[in-house]
Amino acid sequence: MIISSIVLLSALAQGSPVQIEAFKRNLDGSTGQSTSSSIHASISQIEADVQRTSYTPVHIFVQSEGIPSHAIGPWPGNPNMATDRGWSFLLPINPIEQTGAKTATGLGAIGVMINGVPMFNAKDARTYQNRGVWFQNAIYWEGSSMDTGMGHPAPGGNYHYHQIPDSLVTQTGDTPQYHSSIIGFAFDGFPVYGPYAYANANGTGPIMRVESSYRLRNITDRHTLPDGTVLSQSDWGPAINSNFPLGAYNEDYEYVANLSQLNEFNGRFCATPEYPQGTFAYFATRDANGQASYPYLVGPEYYGVVETGNLGPGGGHMPPPPSATDYAPFEIGLSQSTTGGGSQVAIGGAPSNSTVQLAYSLSGMNGIQSPYGVAALSMPVVILPAVQSNSLGRATMPVSINPSMAGITVYMQAVSNPGTATGMLSLPERITVL
């Protein structure tokens, strides 16, 4: 069946910043979940993902509890519990490069993922002999306490990611076939993408896995820093052995210009689907074996001017002013993307009390390769039975995912009042079935 005779109305509110579309808003009241009964009991009353997005002419405001919609926990050896945090992050609408000396990424949150969960840098809070010289690599020292989504809670309940968030990336439908989606924003306002991008920075060429330009140093002792600084004996790091292998400390890595596609900030200026004219963008990096590679998300320093209201012990609680405009477009979201049933599509921002139908197509079906094949509405797509939105423009639709669809990318889009002059399209959604 082909949807036809509808008027295409923009789902992006006029004048709203393009970045705000990336955030994963909670459309159906979904709450936290875990395979651990004790963790599930603690987080299942906390709303997941992002509760509100709004903007002024200068800033975007992202409000969340810091709990994702993907399953979290357990965290072996970590005594902390993820809790609701009441985050309100702000991001610049027009990020700019920091000229002169750059700002180092510090401990704690350095950005926010599209699901409202903070991202951290590559460090944990400890250094060798507390000297503040050799900083422990969080992935090496804390990796065993991270869940399958690559997150864990800090003291105080702050759930966060130090590296590419596997479960979130899966929710975005990330595959080597297409340019990765935005998975977050650093606090300088520049986007963080998954690992796949155009081969050429101008947006041409095949899709490829972009790589970090950092590598392990060729050293036999820890007597110098990556910049060549010779340390006094009191500041030497531990001997390199099985207890302290190369990679256990961030200073075990060095940046080599032009070693790969990305610069010292773990990004590059390039064209992307969301920024066809180009932007600076960070990338969450993986190695050839699929493992997260240093510096994982953002490099040791930010590329741009940082919004300091997000930093420090009291950071991340900057509420939007009364003049801020709420962003609540016509959009859809899949609560689950697993086979075996139990999934639900949530619809938000539709016209009040309207008829809403959902369409989807499969990657590669009938030769369809476009990531926005449903949005184009120029080929056969599957149409599900209509539902009625409520007075707030919300609705839910149960969907049954056949086990044979495991691993397939699905492209979905909703239509309100199809076949009428008031019909409009939702923002498209891309997911990969687990």
Question: Residue 208's pLDDT is what?
Answer: 96
Cα separation, 115 vs 113, in Å, equals 5
- List, for residues 94-135, the tens digit of each pLDDT value: 999 999 999 999 999 999 999 999 999 999 999 999 999 999
Which of the four pLDDT bands, split at 50, 70 and 90, describes residue 433? low
Summary mean pLDDT of the chain? 87
Cα-based angle 32, 173, 260 (whole degrees, multiple of 5): 115
- Residue 286: pLDDT over 90: yes
Which of the four pLDDT bands, split at 50, 70 and 90, describes residue 3? very low
Residue 289, C-beta contacts closer than 8 angstroms, at least 6 positions apart: none
- Residue 298: pLDDT over 90: yes
Question: Residue 380's pLDDT is what?
Answer: 53
- List, for residues 223-235, the tens digit of each pLDDT value: 999 999 999 999 9
Which strand (E) or helix (H) includes residue 431? strand 429-432
Question: Residue 7's pLDDT is what?
Answer: 30
What is the domain partition of the chain in residue ranges? 18-310, 329-432
What is the distance, to the nearest Å, from the Cα of residue 268 to the centroid of all Cα atoms in its chain?
Answer: 18
DSSP assignment of 96-128 equals -B--SSPPBP-SS-SEEETTS-EE--SEEEEEG
The answer to whether the predicted template modeling score (pTM) of the entire model surpasses 0.85 is: yes
Do the Cβ atoms of 423 and 386 come closer than 8 Å? Answer: no
Cα separation, 426 vs 3, in Å, equals 14
Which of the four pLDDT bands, split at 50, 70 and 90, describes residue 401? low
- List, for residues 338-374, the tens digit of each pLDDT value: 544 457 788 888 889 999 988 877 654 343 344 444 4
Cα separation, 106 vs 302, in Å, equals 10
Question: Residue 368's pLDDT is what?
Answer: 38
Among the CATH numbers 3.40.309.10, 2.60.40.10, 1.10.10.10, 3.40.50.300, which is that of 329-432? 2.60.40.10
- List, for residues 129-180, the tens digit of each pLDDT value: 999 999 999 999 999 999 999 999 999 999 999 999 999 998 887 888 889 9
**Please, how many CA atoms are within 13 Å of residue 195, restricted to the half-sphere of its CB?**
25
Residue spans of beta strands (DSSP E) within 116-193: 118-119, 123-127, 135-137, 151-153, 159-161, 182-186, 191-193
SS3 237: coil
